[in-house]
Amino acid sequence: MLPILQIGPVSLPLPGLIILAGIWIGLSLAEKYAPINHIKSTDITNLVFTCLISFLVGGRLGYVIRNWDAFSQDLAGIISRNLELFDLLTGILCALLAFIIVCQRKELPVWQTLDSLTPFFALISLSIAFSHLASGNAFGSPTTLPWAIDLWGMPRHPTQIYGILLSICILILIWPGKGFLWDPQPGVPFLRFLAITSVGVIIIEAFRGDSLLILLGLRRDQVIAWLILAASLAGLWTLSSKRENGT
Amino acid sequence: MLSLTFLNPENGKDALCLTIEMEIKKLPQGKISRLVNLSLTVILFLGLLWIGFSRVTDNSTNSGKIPAPQPGFLAPEFSLEDMNGETVSLTSLRGRPVLLNFWASWCPPCRSEMPAMQELFAEFENQGFIILAVNATNQDDLADMKRFVEGNQLQFPILLDQTGSAGNLYNIQSLPTSFFINQDGIVEDLVIGGMSEALLRIRVKALLDEPPARDGGQ
């Protein structure tokens, strides 16, 4: 665990750096393999940057609006460097909106674009898992298993390492043009990525020691992942029947 | 093609030679697709069972029971002397929301967040809110620190971590680092780096709005 990288007098937050590296490598991969899906690399670059900026700006603005009482007394806080001042859901919605607008304006086919972005998403997922290992977040529940790691006062499931292994497996399985789960039919690689990532979350979340809980002690992220799995499966069956009908 | 040869151990000659020839055909994409979809559909239903099975029982998430400098855990106990020589312990403040801030006078972000901290302390002190500003005295100049505290008229307790024991206990790797601790002694939030006034205000209000748990933990 190394949340802060100290280089001389400079303290760098290692989890953030890992995610930045993930974005960069993921974007490079997506650009390289975009032509397989008949998408231009430059379109992917522009799309990713537009969505990232919308995500960051939208997430901050969403947070500011939700907490206007506090920001009205400190307007400079709106542009402060505190990453904590961020509303994830608003950020995601803004990025989605930007994605739709760019696809329409550039006339990009949605499924092929999503397929091209799949390696990018997989790398982001991998970098988030590594960032959890660096920060000690997303830690596991106590266990006596021999591979337990000592964290926050007791031996725990190394859920961060489970996450890293899972993300590597998923990246290999969906590798453009070569992975077992890659498929030339538009939409299938992306939906399969969503489905197996959801399966991974459902499994690994059970070993977490910091899950957010909803009704009856159910773990929130498992329920969300199950819904995403169901939705992506519905999409996969629809695409499969289209293939059989030759449409 | 797969060829297996079993040797006779006595004479070392071939006893049995078995050859299997197999032709591995690549499955068509349509069949793979159906296979993957079927597997995922089975997993979808098994997933429901797994979610039910992995439901959280009392001790599977142990937040609030073990001391650790991490959100969701009990804030580790320490006692330090303040600038007047009086000993302050974290446990003695149980029942009050606490902002535990590790700082040093040579650290620019620590200096820049202090006026906002003083403002919030003055605003919410009557609601029980308290700030413990733990000075990393083992790596600070005491005279500089005192000058800074007096110059900014800081009224909350400034604790002197002369040996670095509290810093080690809270695994401080960078200054400033702040822990927002609720009335039950649980770390609600951790912020590494300087805080804007807005962030401070939002976090402090969240601490004040939170009702204390009856059992003293989650």
| B64-89: average pLDDT | 87
Q: Looking at residue B28, what is its pLDDT?
A: 73
Q: Looking at residue A206, what is its pLDDT?
A: 93
Residue B67 has pLDDT above 80, yes or no: yes
Are A13 and B57 inside 8 Å of each other by CB? no
Residue among A74, A210, A217 minimizing CB distance to B72: A210
DSSP letter for each residue of A48-102? HHHHHHHHHHHHHHHHHHHTHHHHTT-GGGGG-S-TTS--HHHHHHHHHHHHHHH
Residue among B48, B57, B174 minimizing CB distance to A226: B48
Residue A188, CA distances (Å) to A115, B36, B37 in order = 8, 11, 10
Distance (Å, rounded) from C-alpha B201 to C-alpha B198?
5
Q: How confident is the model at residue B17 (pLDDT cuts 50, 70, 90)?
A: low
Kindly give, in sequence order, each residue whose CB lies less than 8 Å from that of residue A210, ignoring residues fewer than 6 positions away: A137, A138, A139, B61, B63, B72
Are A13 and B54 inside 8 Å of each other by CB? no
Tell me whether strands B79-82 and B2-7 are parallel, antiparallel or unpaired.
unpaired
* Interface probe, candidates B34, B199, B203, chain A, greatest A C-beta count within 10 A: B199
Q: Looking at residue A244, what is its pLDDT?
A: 79
Radius of gyration of chain B (CA): 31
Look up the pTM and report it.
Answer: 0.80
Q: Looking at residue B22, what is its pLDDT?
A: 45
B7 torsion bin: left (phi>0), alpha (psi -120 to 50), beta (else): beta
Q: How confident is the model at residue B113 (pLDDT cuts 50, 70, 90)?
A: very high
Residue B7 has pLDDT above 60, yes or no: no
Q: Looking at residue A2, what is its pLDDT?
A: 72
Q: Looking at residue B8, what is its pLDDT?
A: 55
Q: Looking at residue A195, what is its pLDDT?
A: 96
Instruction: For B127-159, write each residue's pLDDT tens digit.
Output: 999 999 999 999 898 899 999 999 999 999 999
Cα–Cα nearest to A86, from B170, A116, A95, A23 = A95
Phi/psi of residue A136, nearest 5 degrees: 85, 5
Residue B5 has pLDDT above 70, yes or no: no
Chain centre to alpha carbon of residue B30: 47
Chain A residues in contact with B44 (beta carbon < 8 A) = 226, 229-230, 233
More confident residue, B8 or B191: B191
DSSP letter for each residue of B136-199? -GGGS-HHHHHHHHHHTT--S-EEE-SSSHHHHHTT--SSSEEEEE-TTSBEEEEEES---HHH
Residue of B nearest to A229 (CA): B44
Q: Among A140-149, A191-200, B61-70, B81-90, name the one with the lowest average pLDDT.
A: B61-70
Q: Looking at residue B217, what is its pLDDT?
A: 37
Q: Looking at residue B213, what is its pLDDT?
A: 63
Q: Looking at residue B16, what is its pLDDT?
A: 53
Q: How confident is the model at residue B62 (pLDDT cuts 50, 70, 90)?
A: low
CB contact B30 to A (< 8 Å): yes
Are A195 and B40 inside 8 Å of each other by CB? yes
Q: Looking at residue B10, what is its pLDDT?
A: 53
CB contact B6 to A (< 8 Å): no
Q: Looking at residue B114, what is its pLDDT?
A: 94
The residue assigned the tokens 């077992």 is: A180
For chain A (length 247 residues), average pLDDT per consecutive 10?
72 87 96 94 96 96 92 87 88 96 95 96 96 89 91 88 96 91 92 96 92 85 96 93 77
Chains A–B, number of C-beta pairs less than 8 Å apart: 145
Q: Looking at residue A165, what is its pLDDT?
A: 97
Residue B15 has pLDDT above 90, yes or no: no
Q: Looking at residue A12, what is its pLDDT?
A: 78
Are A199 and B195 inside 8 Å of each other by CB? no
Cα–Cα nearest to A210, from A161, A168, A156 = A156
Are A233 and B40 inside 8 Å of each other by CB? yes
3-state DSSP assignment of residue B81? strand
